[in-house]
Amino acid sequence: MRRHLELDAALDRRLECVPTGRYKMTPTTTNRQFRVREGRQTRDAILTAAKRLMLIKGYNATSLDDLLGASGVGKGSFYHYFESKEDLGYAILDDIVTSFVERTLDPCFADPDGRPIAQIRCFLDRVVEAQRERACVGGCPLGNLASEMSDVHEGFRERLASVFSVWRERLTLALRDAQRRGDVANDCRVETVAQFLVASLEGAILMTKVSKDIGVMEKCVGELKRYLAIYEPARP
């Protein structure tokens, strides 16, 4: 509180020097914007630290003291932004999903005029690159949470099931569109194939995490591409 009052007073003194006219700013508006921005930075710091810790240690093994130490915030600040560790866990899950959609799914599937099979291959390649960037450490955050929490926490299980359903549905729609274009055979059971792709990727990520060898991921994805090619009609 004292820090905020000192900052407010300093800003008020600076604003007294701002000339009147088109660009006049009010101290009340400026101070409010500053506090909102600072609040977002604090919340983001907690989320970033929590994601990093939970990726390695897991949800249950990450304590509140771990989170406070890694983020550099006090207990009061933590409970200002999150009601509980569970509330933080849900926020982390939302953040992971948003990042996955924006960095992995959307770049491959956003173009409505793109060829669906090429989009799926693009997606597979991006999953490989994500593991390469992490040096095969941590695995899949969604898969980690699913493995740890699905049998012991119904709230997490329901949210994770919904996330995997969205992922599976995106692939199903792409395969169905490919069928409509004649790029995939009519006997392809698109929902089952989409489910197989998701399950295979999760297994490949887990094996890559265990082996610490990106070659495992590359070989598994290569086989998935060959599997998809089975359903592509022969070209003259």
pLDDT in tens, 118-169: 999 999 999 999 999 999 999 999 999 999 999 999 999 999 999 999 999 9
Residue 231 belongs to domain spanning: 85-236
- Is 5 inside a domain boundary? no
pTM: 0.79
CATH code, domain with 90: 1.10.357.10
Find the Cα–Cα–Cα–Cα dihedral 160, 163, 167, 170, rounded to 10°: 150
Instruction: Please work out, in degrees rounded to the nearest 5, the angle formed at the alpha carbon of residue 60 by the alpha carbons of 55 and 62.
Output: 60
User: Does the pLDDT of residue 8 top 70, yes or no?
Assistant: no
Residue type at 213 in one-letter notation: D
- Is 172 inside a domain boundary? yes
- Is 93 inside a domain boundary? yes
